[in-house]
Chain A
Amino acid sequence: MIRFEHVCKYYSAKTSDMEEQISALVDINIEIKKGEFFVLFGPNGSGKTTFLKMITCQEYASAGKVFWGEQDLSEMKKRHIPYLRRKVGMIFQDFKLLYKKTAFENIAFVLSAIDLPKEVIFDKVCRILNKVDLIRKKNLYPYQLSHGERQKLCISRALVNNPEIILADEPLANLDMQTQDELIQILKKSNQEGVTVIMATNNPRIEFNDISHRLLKLVGGKAKE
């Protein structure tokens, strides 16, 4: 489904008197199959977020190619990118919730952004909030929710439109173990329903537990499977 072929990503950084190239990813070759639960494991700065961003065309490879099916993402026209992103549910490390909107509105906003009718939005949002056990808190604002509940809200927003892939960037950060387990269960359940899950994390629990089908270690932008 998603294929990285000799993908490299460099950033230019200017030091005092010269320009330096910083490698975010170095020669990544990997194929992620449909329905897989794939974990990217690595410390901060290892290139995990860059890897995820390439799948949604937020970043482009400096060398190599990224494929979604047969489509080379570097050749995708800009006007087609929004339709690609509708197939993806994203869970962000910093949540990216809108703090002036309620829990319900945060999820509904995503569906209205893709121009779904009001009745459909209401139905979908209620169902997903039910699924993550946040339905009673639908009228609360993010600041009124706990850290774990905010992350659940984030996951709900990612799942609400039945995506083909979930990209989760450090979804377990700063959560207690019980909440981590709850969230992993939600992701596993979605995966069992056919959704491909790609999760980036530096949580050692993930490295040593049998959560994923496959785990790829990233160190300094290089892959170690």
Chain B
Amino acid sequence: MIQHAMREAKNNFSRKKLANLSAIWSLSISILIMGVFFLIGTNLNKVINDLKEKVGVVVFLDDDLTIEEISSIRKKIFNMGNIEDITYTSKEEALSDLGKDPEIAHYIKMIGENPLPASFNIKLIDKNMEQLNNIAKRIGFFEGIKEVRYGQEEVKNLNKIIFFIKSIGIGLGIILGLISLSMVYYTIHLVVSLREDEIRIMQLVGATAGFIRMPFLLEGLIAGLLGGGLGLGFMGGSYYLLILRFEGILFLPWFIIAALGAAGILVGFVGSFISIQKYIEI
């Protein structure tokens, strides 16, 4: 039965080459576009993860604190848990770091005094936004704290951008996927309608629904496989050209590649299944 189905699928493919190639092409473009959006999302995720590594909580201290008071605040912060490291920067050290830039050094000279506060730079073990937010809030209630910052706005905005890009990618991919599905549907429909007489006779002489259906399903699967493969091939080629110019760009994770390939096969299968279904009524 499999041999027969493959032979018939091959014949069907040859019979309507142009229609099949259009369906494959449409599917490959859908997969490519979805892949591009996922690629952008993957790399933006990397940026945000790198940023998170650098992001910690910066606590600016009041100017008039004694060494004991500073030490006490440090202890209190450490005892909150989830603290990897606390680095203290004194007013003088902060001035010295910033003064390395000649323009800023000139302005500071003009002011005549050191405007920069002492600070703690806190690195967390668990760096997720909720933890950062939680710790920053609690520290803000301590005595002797001027201000608490943790780059929350930047991380939030980046997350929003990633979500937006991925949503567009998925939305566009779904729309294009539906277009590809309908192209596969009409291609198979065309082939099936040309063979309607044969199908009818096959039903009357005792061919099972599965036997009749299988060549068309295989044809749809092959179109889906080729479309998905071509789309991923385009992706790979584009990525190769990109990394020749830009370093450090990540390719798609393996499970996304597998999902895109599977999506292509699924579209091909579903399109052909729906198409043949009405002809199979016994």
- Name A residues whose Cβ lies closer than 8 Å to a Cβ of B: 56-58, 78-79, 81-86, 88, 90, 96, 98, 109-110, 112-115, 157, 161
- Where chain B touches its partner, the secondary structure class is helix
Interface positions of B from 161 to 217, Cβ below 8 Å from A? 197-198, 200-209, 211-212
**B208 with A82: CB separation less than 8 A:** yes
**B198 with A109: CB separation less than 8 A:** yes
- Name B residues whose Cβ lies closer than 8 Å to a Cβ of A: 1, 4, 197-198, 200-209, 211-212, 282
Known: A57-B282, A82-B282. A113 touches B206 (CB 8 A): yes
Alpha-carbon gap, A81 to B209, bound state (A):
10
CB distance from B1 to the nearest CB of A (A): 5
Beta-carbon nearest neighbor of B202 in chain A:
A113
Which single member of B4, B206, B209, B212 contacts A83 (CB below 8 Å)? B206
Q: Chain B residues with Cβ under 8 A from A96's Cβ?
A: 197, 200-201, 204
Q: Chain B residues with Cβ under 8 A from A98's Cβ?
A: 197-198, 201
Known: A81-B282, A98-B197, A98-B198. A114 touches B206 (CB 8 A): yes
Which single member of B1, B4, B205 contacts A110 (CB below 8 Å)? B205
**A82 with B198: CB separation less than 8 A:** no
Known: A96-B200, A113-B201. 15 other contacts (CB 8 A): A56-B204, A57-B282, A58-B204, A82-B206, A82-B282, A85-B203, A86-B205, A90-B204, A98-B197, A109-B198, A110-B201, A112-B4, A113-B205, A113-B207, A161-B205
A-B pairs with lowest CB-CB distance, top 10:
A86-B206, A113-B207, A85-B206, A113-B202, A82-B206, A110-B205, A82-B208, A81-B282, A78-B282, A115-B1
Q: Chain A residues with Cβ under 8 A from B201's Cβ?
A: 96, 98, 109-110, 113
Alpha-carbon gap, A185 to B205, bound state (A):
23
Alpha-carbon gap, A114 to B282, bound state (A):
15
Q: Chain B residues with Cβ under 8 A from A81's Cβ?
A: 282
Alpha-carbon gap, A114 to B209, bound state (A):
11
CB distance from A173 to the nearest CB of B (A): 19
Beta-carbon nearest neighbor of A158 in chain B:
B205
